[in-house]
Amino acid sequence: MLVRVVPLLSNVSLLKGKLFVAVVDISLYEAKFEGMKLSGLVMVACGFIIVLFPENWPDAIQHVVR
């Protein structure tokens, strides 16, 4: 059980950390995330979410649909 929880916690904490840093940059330093910076943040967030999918996610989706 611990083996499955550790990657989940690390990925969620990294994702929240990236988003928190972006919010701090916007609020304190008035940073603008446009174009490539914004797409990079979105791609990193999507990558962390994809890593959280189980190995057999196509089978799980088929099981839910059927």
How many structural domains is the chain composed of? 1
Task: Encode pLDDT of 19-59 as tens digits.
Answer: 899 899 999 999 988 999 899 989 998 988 888 887 888 88
- For the record, the structure tokens of 25 come out as 């940059």
* Residues 45/19, Cβ–Cβ less than 8 Å: yes
In terms of Cβ atoms closer than 10 Å to its own Cβ (0-12, 13-18, 19+), residue 62 is exposed
* pLDDT at 1 (0 to 100): 54
C-alpha 54 chain-centroid distance: 15
Domain that holds residue 53: 2-65
Evaluate if pTM is beyond 0.75.
no
